Amino acid sequence: MSGSHDIILHHYDASPFSNKVRLLLGLKGLRWKSVVTPNMMPKPVLIPLTGGYRRAPVMQIGADIYCDSQAIMAEIERRHPEPKTDLGASWPVNIWADRIWFQHSVAIIFGSLGDQVDPAFIKDREKLSGRPFDVKAMAAAAEPAKEQWRAQAGWIESALASAGIDYLGGAKPGIGDLAAHMNIWFLASVFPDMADELLQGFERLHQWREAIETIGQGDRAEISGADAIQVAAGAEPADVSLGHDEAGGAHDLIGKQVIVSADDYGRDPIAGELLAATSQRIVIRRTDPATGTVNITFPQVGFIVREAT
């Protein structure tokens, strides 16, 4: 039974999207297993599990694989509903922080690092995005990006102030808070003084940030990638029809071979049979010699499904 398996997070410490998920595991007080993945290709443990999805983080529970922090957090919330963290506008905040604000974080960080960025990393990220990873252009864009970055941090301050609340969803921390915090954590992890400077004068945000940074990451224990593969190989994926998906979405493709890919960067095609497509999630099934049959879940927002030709 998949339900009896531990949460395994495939991630790396410096990854901001992974840190967001680690904080949610902390907020829920969960015990979990950690497999540290490389921060660039090749990723020989991850790829057989995901069928080609390479980004971090990925969550594995037995033979059920969850790609993208959005799908991961939704599944953690579904399996562990207490304390409730899907509060208020958590999901739209998550997408804004992942996409718009994050791009400004990237421009500031890599623009400021300039020549210190490892050429192998630059090559890897060019493959990931399909565009030049131009640190010179980023360096030129870093100053204006700082203004935009601070303006978006200001939205957190004003949201807390105008509603008189401690967290974006009200009195308790939720997914929206962890999502928005990701950009502050990312910038502060590389340039702490710059983060402090750009957050100057945001008193409520400072209290909010401090509270989030006391959450911790739950009870983490390291395992090897080989062990994680063995877990998948020895498990059966959860029954989607009994488990976690109602009807909805791309009915005409259910049961067909499809290709799923991200719609932003890291668009590697992932092939499998479409098991479910609801308004929020896409689930495919695929078989790999190393892992056996696994179900892979993606969020609907941010991913495209098309029939395999």
Ligand X SMILES: N[C@@H](CCC(=O)N[C@@H](CS)C(=O)NCC(=O)O)C(=O)O
Binding site for ligand X (CB under 6 A): 15-17, 39-40, 54-56, 68-70, 98, 128, 302
Q: Tokens 């999901």: give the residue.
A: 91
Q: Are 16 and 94 in contact (CB under 8 A)?
A: no
Q: Tokens 């974080």: give the residue.
A: 105
CA 272 to chain centre: 21
Q: Are 28 and 76 in contact (CB under 8 A)?
A: yes
- Report in angstroms how near the CB of residue 241 gets to ligand X at its nearest: 27
Nearer to ligand X, 89 or 233 (CB): 89
Angle between helices 175-190 and 69-79 (to 10 degrees): 130
Nearer to ligand X, 160 or 296 (CB): 296
Nearer to ligand X, 69 or 261 (CB): 69
What are the φ and ψ backbone dihedral angles of 110, each rounded to 5 degrees? -75, -30
- Report in angstroms how near the CB of residue 32 gets to ligand X at its nearest: 16
- Report in angstroms how near the CB of residue 256 gets to ligand X at its nearest: 25
Nearer to ligand X, 133 or 167 (CB): 133
Distance CA 306, CA 308 (A): 6
When CB distances to ligand X are compared, the closest residue is: 55
- Report in angstroms how near the CB of residue 20 gets to ligand X at its nearest: 8
Distance CA 66, CA 283 (A): 9
**Residue 195: C-alpha distances to residues 63, 142, 149, 184, 191 (Å):** 40, 13, 10, 7, 6
- Report in angstroms how near the CB of residue 172 gets to ligand X at its nearest: 23
Nearer to ligand X, 160 or 168 (CB): 168
- Report in angstroms how near the CB of residue 46 gets to ligand X at its nearest: 9
- Report in angstroms how near the CB of residue 93 gets to ligand X at its nearest: 13
Distance CA 262, CA 282 (A): 12
Distance CA 82, CA 74 (A): 13
Nearer to ligand X, 80 or 127 (CB): 127
- Report in angstroms how near the CB of residue 199 gets to ligand X at its nearest: 21
- Report in angstroms how near the CB of residue 96 gets to ligand X at its nearest: 12
First to last CA, the chain: 34
